[in-house]
Each structure stands twice: as structure tokens, then as C-alpha cells.
Structure 1
């Protein structure tokens, strides 16, 4: 599958991959928030960011600490891990990888072991700057996949340039039940969310097995080696 310089929106069956239901159940049971797109209404003001998030801060909020307890496989501490309910998010994600292999890429994928969770609170950012993942040591062979579990509209969605170095960032609007595949060479980011709801999404990176190369590079934040068994699974 050639995605050079491309942005592709695909659809999936939410009955088979009920990502929103999993997140809604988690938010309901942990924060008594029955509608996960209203997450911001159930977090005390003193636990919300008091400034616009920047790089290094955009995965370190209280909301993230709650959301990452959606699956025990995110937990490194065995004691915490034993207390986190298994909502089958990662198992569903792994089945989703199988769907992409069979229906989209038509070959095995090397894929990010644990997807990254994003929270786009009102009046803030979900990612600290416009970037290409390769700016953070990621292999150029990676393909980015972005999956919202709420609606993703206007200022509450990912912003992307239309072609390499165009700089003409514009919103890519995606509905729940759709996913976005894009060339990792396209610069992307987000704007301050003025839509009045919390956008929740997850994203991950894949490499078709035919393009996979062993790398000695490591991720900047988590210091994970970009290799099967560390950052990637297969």
C-alpha cells in the first residue's frame, strides 16, 4: 500500500471494535462521567492544566493518569497493574491491527505495542507542537494511524498539511467509526480546542513487514528502542 504524501480516511465496524464503549465505561466507573466527551466537566479545576500544554507536558496531565488506567498492560508497577480492570482495550486494539492487515495493507504489520492516548481538553492542546514523528527519532518507514473515540471536528481534531512542507494546516474531520491513515512525512498537530467538548483519541504507528528494518534508535520520551519486542509488536 503506497501512502506517500497521502491522507486516507477509512471505516470500521464499531460493533466489532467498540472503542467508544470501552472508554465510556472506563470514564463512568472511574470518574462517574457517563459521557466521555464531557470528561472535562468531571475533573476538578485544580487538577486541570493551568496553561497551554507544550511538548513534554501533553502526556502528563491528571486526565492522562486516569485514562491510561483503561488497561492493565499500560501499568509498569505490578501492584497497580493488579488493581486495574481489564476492559479488553489492548485486546481489541490487537484485533484492529488484524483487521488492518487483512483489509487495508494486505500484509503483516509491525505495530506499536501500546497505542498512545490523546486528550484534547477544551481551551487547550492535545499535542504540544506541530511535528513529524521522525523529528523524535521515529523510523521514516512508519505509517501513522489515528483513531478518535469521540467526534473530531473543527479545532478539536488533528490538523495536517496537504503535502510535504506545504504548511497549509487544516482540520481533518473524522467521525467515530472512522480512522485516519497518513504519511508520517506530513507535518501535523492541533489547535486550541474551542468546540466545547473533550476529544479523546488514540494513535499508533505501523510498518508493513516488507519495509521493516531493525533500528538502533530509541524514542525520546520513553527511551524505548524502535524494535520488535520493545516499542513494536509483530
Structure 2
């Protein structure tokens, strides 16, 4: 499967506005962090992200009663936009994974394949930025397995990318664009390819097992 880009109706599924309201900001691409408080040497970009107030506030909202508005729109998006891409029912990640790649953030760039973390070959990835995603603030993906010819996926709100992250190496770079990228991503499994065991935790560290983001990434529900 080659990486593909699709458009969707941002007014109908206005994830950007919902997340702006959660974070109480007008421009997601301008949010920044206090490096002295959260930057730890040796941490990955996303590990440092998880320590920030913006990220904690986002998940606090998602896990509260306010989060229902996001998950209602997300479920509708799955049913009306993603499900029609397949000629059979699908399993989809019940709660997507949210990311903030800060314009002034730092950390270790760790490229990987999702199979490194126990994901199954049947899984298909979706990446939806809620700010312009370009150059070093977006996701970089190799074109073919093992090529490591990483290229940035340029997208804007109202677009999403579909790719095979379980086998294609991908990751984020230190953001030099002076614009923050806010996004979420999730995975889908066609029902005919459902593995006997969706979750394989054999490669997980103890800290991974306690991380609700890891658990969200392996919790699938059915879209008929």
C-alpha cells in the first residue's frame, strides 16, 4: 500500500475547532512550551511532549465530559469517511492518539515501524493534522519497505494521509518550522484480516504497559 492523501469536509468534522476550544487558544500552530520545565535530554520528541501543560490539558478535556463532542465527531468521521474506503466492516481504534510537535520543542527523533511495538500486519494508519503539517513539523515516511528515503507528508486541516505504518518506517524530526503541529492518528483493520490476538505486549517495557496512549493504540471497536 502506497501512502495516499485524501480530503474531508472540515466544516462537518471540525476537529480543529474542538481542540482549539479544549486548549483555549485561537491558533494551534502558535502554542509553545517552556523548555526549562519539560525538556529532558535523551527523551523522544513525543515523550517530552507528554510532559507539557498543553498536552495534559488536552487529554484532561478528552477524558472529561467535554470530550464527548470530540468522540462523537470522530465516530461519525469513521462511519462516513473511513468505513466507505473498504468493502467490508472494519475495526478501528476507539480513541485516536493525539500529538503536539511544538515549534520550540526538542527531543530525540526515533524512527520506527509499528511492528516494533507489537502492532499487527493487518493494521492501516491514518494521520490527521489540525494545523498545517509540512517540512520538519510533519510526519516523515519511507516510500518502500527498507528504503529509508524519508519524505515529509505535507497536509493541511481538511486532509488526511493513509499509510502502512506497521511495515513502513516513519517518525518525526526536530521541528525547525517555527510552527507547532497538532494532529491525531489512528489505525484500522479490515474485518477479514482480524488477527486472533490484536494486542501483543511481548515487546513492551513496563512503562509502556502503564501508558494509556499505548493502550489506546491497541483498543479497537467495530464499524459495520
The answer on 1:67 being equivalent to 2:87 is no
Q: Secondary structure at the match of 2:179?
A: coil
Residue 204 of structure 1 deviates from its aligned partner by 0.7
Residue 145 of structure 1 deviates from its aligned partner by 0.5
The CA RMSD measured in Å over matched residues stands at 2.7
1:86/1:118 CA distance change after superposition, 3 Å: closer
Residue 135 of structure 1 deviates from its aligned partner by 0.5
- Map of 2:110 onto structure 1: 129
Structural mapping, 1:87-98, within 5 Å = 88-98=69-79
- Residue of structure 1 aligned with 2:22, choices 20, 26, 36: 26
Structural mapping, 1:148-187, within 5 Å = 148-184=129-165, 185-187=167-169
- Map of 1:214 onto structure 2: 196
Higher normalized contact order (CA 8 Å, seq sep 6+, divided by chain length) = 2
- Map of 2:30 onto structure 1: 38
Structure 1 ranges of 4+ moved more than 6 A: none
Please tell me whether the aligned partners of residues 127 and 190 of structure 1 are also in contact (alpha carbons under 8 angstroms). no
- Map of 2:219 onto structure 1: 231
1:131/1:199 CA distance change after superposition, 3 Å: same
The answer on 1:108 being equivalent to 2:92 is no
- Map of 1:198 onto structure 2: 180
TM-score by length of 2: 0.84
Please tell me whether the aligned partners of residues 139 and 170 of structure 2 are also in contact (alpha carbons under 8 angstroms). yes
1:193/1:101 CA distance change after superposition, 3 Å: closer
Please tell me whether the aligned partners of residues 45 and 109 of structure 2 are also in contact (alpha carbons under 8 angstroms). yes
- Map of 1:146 onto structure 2: 127
Q: Secondary structure at the match of 1:189?
A: strand
Please tell me whether the aligned partners of residues 45 and 174 of structure 2 are also in contact (alpha carbons under 8 angstroms). no
The CA deviation string for residues 169-209 of structure 1, in whole angstroms up to 9 with x for no partner, is 11110111000000121110011101111100001111011
Residue 55 of structure 1 deviates from its aligned partner by 7.3
Please tell me whether the aligned partners of residues 118 and 202 of structure 1 are also in contact (alpha carbons under 8 angstroms). yes
Please tell me whether the aligned partners of residues 125 and 190 of structure 1 are also in contact (alpha carbons under 8 angstroms). no
1:140/1:59 CA distance change after superposition, 3 Å: farther
CA distance in 1, matches of 2:132, 2:107: 15
Residue 34 of structure 1 deviates from its aligned partner by 2.1
Q: Secondary structure at the match of 1:85?
A: helix
Unaligned runs of 5+ in 2: none
1:89/1:52 CA distance change after superposition, 3 Å: farther
- Map of 2:4 onto structure 1: 8
CA distance in 2, matches of 1:154, 1:143: 23
